[in-house]
Chain A
Amino acid sequence: MKKLFISAFVLLTAVASFAQSEKFTAAMKKNLAAMDSSFKNPPDILNVANNFERIANAEKNQWLPYYYAAFCQVNYGFMEQDKDKIDGYADKATELIAKADSLSPNNSEISCIKSMIASCHMMVNPMQRWQEYGQESNSNMEAAMQQDATNPRPYFLKGQGLKYTPEQFGGGCKTAKPQLQTALDKYATFKPANDISPNWGKERTESLIKDCK
Chain B
Amino acid sequence: MKTALSVIFFFHFLPLTAQISISGRVTDNKNKALRGVSVALKNTYDGATTDSTGHYSFSTDEKGEQQLEVTISGYYAISQKIVLGDSPVTLNLSMKEQITELKAVVISAGSFEASDKNKGAVLSDIDIVTTPSANGDVTSAFKSLPGTQQVGESEGLFVRGGTATESKIFMDGNLVNNFFFSSTPGMATRGRFNPFLFKGTIFSTGGYSALYGQALSSALILESKDLPEKTEADLGISVVGVGGGIQHLSKDKKSSWGVSVNYTNLWLAFNVIKQKQDFFQVPLAKQADANFRIKTKNGGFIKYYGYISTNKTGFRSPDIDSAILKDAFSINNINTYQNISWKDRIGNGWKINTGISFSTNKDDIVNEIQDADNGKFTGTNPLFNYKNFNLLNKARYAQARVVFEKKLFGLNAIRFGTDYFYSNEKSTYTLYDGTKFTQQVNDHLLAAFAETDIYVTNNLAAKIGSRLEHSTIIDKWNIAPRISLAYKVGANSQASFAYGIFYQNPERKYLPGLAGLDYSRASHYIFQYSKQTKNYTLRTELFYKKYSNLYKTDSSIGGREIAANNNGYGDARGIEFFWRDKKTIKNVDYWLSYSYLNTKRDFLNYPTAIQPSFAATHTAAFVFKRFFLPLKTQFNLSYNFATGRPYYRIAKNASDKYMITDAGKTINYNSMSFSVNWLPNIGKKDARTFAVWVLGVTNVLGQNIIYNYNYSYEGSRKEAVTPPSKRFVFIGCFLSFGMDRTQDAINNNL
Tally chain A residues at the interface, Cβ within 8 Å: 46
Q: Which residues of B contact A15 (CB under 8 A)?
A: 8, 12
* Nearest chain A CB to B495 CB, angstrom units: 20
Interface string of B271-315 (1 = CB under 8 A from A): 000000000000000000000000000000000000000000000
Select one of B5, B52, B229, B747 contacting A131, CB under 8 A. Answer: B229
A54 with B12, Cβ < 8 A, contacts A92-B73, A169-B684 known: no
> Please, how many angstroms separate the alpha-carbon atoms of A12 and B8 in the complex?
6
Asked whether any CB of chain B lies closer than 8 Å to the CB of A150, the reply is no
Per-position contact with A for B1-41: 1 when CB-CB < 8 Å, else 0? 10011011001100000000000000000000001101010
Q: Give residues of chain A (1-42) contacting chain B, Cβ–Cβ below 8 Å.
A: 4-5, 8, 11-12, 15-16, 19, 23, 27
Q: 0/1 per residue, B587-604, Cβ < 8 Å to A?
A: 000000000000000000
Question: Interface segment, B42-50, B242-250, B367-375, B571-579?
Answer: B42-50
Complex contacts, A128 vs chain B, CB 8 Å: 116, 124, 126
- B116 in contact with A12 (CB, 8 Å): no
Instruction: List 8 tightest A-B contacts by C-beta distance, closest first.
Output: A169-B683, A8-B4, A50-B38, A47-B49, A50-B49, A54-B40, A139-B742, A54-B47
Chain B residue with Cβ nearest A52:
B45
Does residue A46 face the partner (Cβ distance < 8 Å to B)?
A: yes
14 A-B pairs with C-beta separation under 8 A = A8-B4, A8-B8, A12-B4, A19-B12, A43-B35, A47-B49, A50-B48, A51-B49, A53-B40, A58-B45, A125-B534, A132-B229, A138-B742, A147-B750
Chain B interface residues (CB < 8 Å from chain A): 1, 4-5, 7-8, 11-12, 35-36, 38, 40, 42-49, 52, 73-74, 102, 116, 124, 126, 229-230, 533-534, 627, 629-630, 632, 682-685, 742-743, 745-747, 749-750
In the complex the two chains form, is A170's CB within 8 Å of B47's CB? Answer: no
Determine the residue in chain B with the shortest Cβ distance to A18: B12
Q: B4 to chain A: which residues have CB within 8 Å?
A: 4-5, 8, 11-12
Assembly CA distance A138 to B7 (angstroms): 56
Q: Is the CB of B682 within 8 A of A169?
A: yes
Q: A4-B4, A55-B45 are in contact. Are A12 and B11 (CB under 8 A)?
A: yes
Smallest CB–CB gap between B53 and chain A, Å? 13
A57 and B46 alpha carbons, distance in the complex (Å): 11
Q: In the complex, which residues of chain A have a beta carbon less than 8 angstroms from the beta carbon of B534?
A: 83-84, 125
Please, which residues of chain B bring their CB within 8 A of the CB of A135? 229-230, 742
Does the CB pair B126–A142 fall under 8 Å? no
Chain A contacts with B in 166-197, Cβ cutoff 8 A: 166, 168-171
Contacts of B683 in A (CB 8 A): 130, 165-166, 168-171
In the bound assembly, the distance between CA atoms of A210 and B627 in angstroms comes to: 31
CB distance from B739 to the nearest CB of A (A): 13
Chain B residue contacts of A98, Cβ below 8 A: none
> Count of A-B contacts with CB under 8 A?
104
Of A54, A146, A169, A171, which one neighbours B45 at CB under 8 angstroms?
Answer: A54
What residues make up the interface of A, taking CB atoms closer than 8 Å to B? 4-5, 8, 11-12, 15-16, 19, 23, 27, 43, 46-47, 50-51, 53-55, 57-58, 83-84, 88, 91-92, 106, 125, 127-128, 130-132, 134-135, 138-139, 142-143, 146-147, 165-166, 168-171
A sample of 5 more A-B contacts (CB under 8 A), given A84-B533, A146-B747, A168-B629, is A12-B8, A50-B40, A88-B102, A143-B746, A147-B750
Residues of A within 8 A of B229 (CB): 131-132, 135
Whether B73 contacts A146 by the Cβ 8 Å rule is no
Pair A53/B38 contact, Cβ less than 8 Å: yes
Of B43, B116, B742, which contacts A58 at CB under 8 A?
A: B43
A139 to B684, CA, bound (A): 15
Q: Give Cα A64 to B143, complex, Å.
A: 54
In the complex formed, the residue of B with least CB distance to A65 is: B45
Q: Across the interface, do B126 and A170 meet the contact criterion of CB distance under 8 Å?
A: no
Contact indicator A146/B684 (Cβ below 8 Å): no
CB distance from A92 to the nearest CB of B (A): 6
Contact B750–A106 (Cβ < 8 Å): yes
Cα distance, A15 to B116, chains bound together (Å) = 56
A12, A132, A146: the one contacting B7 at CB < 8 Å is A12
Chain B residues in 8 Å Cβ range of A139 = 742, 745-746
Contact in complex: B11, A16 (CB < 8 Å): yes
Q: When the two chains form their complex, are residues B632 and A54 in contact, meaning their CB atoms are under 8 A apart?
A: no
- B43, B126, B683, B749: which has the most chain A beta carbons within 10 Å? B683
Pick the contact of B8: A11, A58, A127, A166 (CB < 8 A).
A11
